[in-house]
Amino acid sequence: MRILITGSNGLLGQKLVKQCLKNGLNFIATSKGGNRNPECPTLNYLELDVSNVLELNQVFQFYYPTHVIHTAAITNVDYCEINKEECDLINIESTRFLIKLSNQYKTHFQFLSTDFVFDGFKGDYSEEDEVNPLSHYGKSKVEGELLLINGDFDNWSIVRTSLVYGEGYNLSRSNIVLWALDSLKSEKKINVVDDQFRSPTYVEDLAWGCVEILQKEEKGTFHLSGPEIISVIDLVYRVADYFELSTTNILPIHSFDLKEKATRPLKTGFDIKKSLNKLGYKSLPLEKALERLIK
Ligand SMILES: NC(=O)c1ccc[n+]([C@@H]2O[C@H](COP(=O)([O-])OP(=O)(O)OC[C@H]3O[C@@H](n4cnc5c(N)ncnc54)[C@H](OP(=O)(O)O)[C@@H]3O)[C@@H](O)[C@H]2O)c1
């Protein structure tokens, strides 16, 4: 196996590097700009902007990956809503080119997608449920998925995940647990939505699942998330409880009153039975994951 990871400076990318090192798997980690993950050996890192087709061609020519895990994306949902062309370039066009190369080099292509492909009216979504994205970010991920689903290339997997949390080095954005923890520790008042439901996902479990799909030579779509569906505000309350922090600064707010640029689906959350059965996927309950996280 020779695994090419895109977006290796990101939260998931860093844990994929960790997973490859732990399992002794041959990998090349790539991201935009320099290596910001001190756990990633310099020899395993290559600077790669996924919108640069010349660089993409070169990395395939020199490295001949047997597998690609494509995590690189513009992941800020409101930024995508305002900067649609840039979002499409990275989230769709770069994916299109990587799929073309994967087809050419007979490489397995794994695409990271999201619960935001759904409209959030049903909740507890399985892999078979119909997509209907509400935001431009969600639409860009659906487009990426469709390039695989409707294409003539069949060596692929799609991993959909939800509200990923965990720690990492020099991350360009925070995540719900780190944000809640930092804010509550510094006694800052925080507005937290009480009408959005998700399946919060510990990033280490997600990374394990992504690599397991490759090792088991599985194909198709998989939902990889935490084991429960809870509201975002309950998640924040539980973080506060776990770390014995006051909850008085947690202010409930409805999504509508937040006036964010992009519309979020209200009730997502995943049915993960397929991943449990086919991959032997295990995901930690929130408090167990928090225990790991502080260690
Ligand atoms: N986090 C979640 O809650 C969540 C939920 C559902 C789905 N997902 C999907 O899961 C994947 C991984 O998410 P994540 O949380 O690890 O996101 P992340 O922390 O934002 O990581 C994405 C990485 O992609 C890099 N990147 C952006 N544009 C690039 C480009 N043109 N060329 C190369 N690299 C580029 C970013 O670089 P910089 O760090 O330099 O900006 C970042 O390191 C994404 O595809 C995301 O859409 C995430």
The predicted model scores a pTM of 0.98
Q: Is the predicted pLDDT of residue 122 greater than 80, yes or no?
A: yes
pLDDT by residue (tens digit) across 135-185? Answer: 999 999 999 999 999 999 999 999 999 999 999 999 999 999 999 999 999
> Which residues does ligand 1 sit against, CB inside 6 Å?
6-7, 9-13, 31-33, 48-51, 71-75, 90, 112, 114, 161-164, 171-173
Nearest CA to ligand 1 atom 17: 10
Q: Using CA atoms, how far apart are residues 255 and 278, in angstroms rounded to an integer?
A: 36
Nearest CA to ligand 1 atom 26: 72
Q: Which of 31, 83, 170 to mutate to test the pocket of ligand 1 (most atoms within 8 A of CB)?
A: 31
Cα dihedral across residues 272, 278, 279, 281: positive or negative: positive
**247 alpha carbon – ligand 1 mean position (Å):** 30
Domain 2-167+200-226+268-284 has CATH 3.40.50.300: no
Tokens 């960790």 belong to 18
Q: Is the predicted pLDDT of residue 16 greater than 90, yes or no?
A: yes
Q: Is the predicted pLDDT of residue 295 greater than 80, yes or no?
A: no
pLDDT category at 294 given cuts 50, 70, 90 is: confident
How far CA 12 is from CA of 122, 175, 228, in Å, comes to 27, 11, 20
Nearest CA to ligand 1 atom 10: 112
Q: Which of 5, 6, 12 to mutate to test the pocket of ligand 1 (most atoms within 8 A of CB)?
A: 12
**91 alpha carbon – ligand 1 mean position (Å):** 10
- What pairing do the DSSP bridges indicate for beta strands 108-114 and 156-161? parallel
Tokens 């998700």 belong to 198
Q: Using CA atoms, how far apart are residues 254 and 239, in angstroms rounded to an integer?
A: 20
pLDDT category at 203 given cuts 50, 70, 90 is: very high
